[in-house]
Amino acid sequence: MAHDRTFSLAVIDMAGTTVDEGALQEEAFSRALASHGVHEGTGAFDAMTAYARRTMGTSKELVFRHLFDDVATAVDVNRTFETAYDTLLARHGVQPIPGAEDAILALRELGLKICLATGFGRHTQNMILESLGWMGLADLSLCPSDAGRGRPYPDIILTAVLALDIEDVRSVLVAGDTTSDVIAGQRAGAGAVIGVLTGAHSEAELRLAGADVVLPSMCHLPQWLPSAADSAQQRVPSAGTVPSMK
């Protein structure tokens, strides 16, 4: 599908979009709940886990603040979650989504700046980047504490726009595997919000949240963008019927 928009920045999610973390996040979540008296096999555990899956991509601190009435408890549970995740990460590691690194390099060759975004804390994000050898891959990496609030708020995207001196937020594309990524991109006013099917949410969920385009994975992004030589007739490798760009 052809489009005539020129992009200067791609804000790309990590877990589920560029990074395959396996079941580390769910295991860390279970450990965090158990350490605060919510154990597997109980109704409370099932309800909290279901909510976490529905809101995948949202900053975990925001998730825990929804699940626990007391803010101090929520902060403590989140701290336990981050410690458990870092322990699991050090033990098991993560893998890149197939083709993700090459796709990021291809986007840079097309002239886009890259921001890798996460809902994890800074220490966890750095551990993931270091384990993959990606510390120099992007122009910028951001987490909620860098921006003020995590997704679904638009803060990370807008922080990237300011930090990388982007003139127009409409020249930003946002890519992610969750409805939180999509909502954040829409709230920021990004020129394109792209869902990918390698992570938490389905095509129907991503479209319902407002995704402009849904691709099988982020490795299709360079093909979707117009090339430097011919910006008119690129076709989207669609996971289904792709709507027209706004």
Interval 114-131: pLDDT, tens? 999 998 888 889 999 998
Tell which CATH classification among 3.10.20.30, 3.30.420.40, 3.40.50.280, 3.40.50.1000 matches the domain 9-20+95-224.
3.40.50.1000
Residue 246 confidence class, pLDDT cut points 50, 70, 90: very low
- Domain locations in the chain? 9-20+95-224, 24-92
**Tokens standing for residue 121:** 């804390």
CA distances 26 to 142, 146, 239, 242, Å, are 22, 24, 27, 31
Residue 240 confidence class, pLDDT cut points 50, 70, 90: very low
> What's phi and psi for 87, nearest 5 deg?
-65, -45
Residue 237 is predicted with a pLDDT of 39
> Can you give the length of the chain in residues?
246
* Whole-prediction pTM: 0.83
Reduced DSSP (H G I as helix, E B as strand, rest coil) percent helix, strand, coil of the chain, to 5: 45, 15, 40
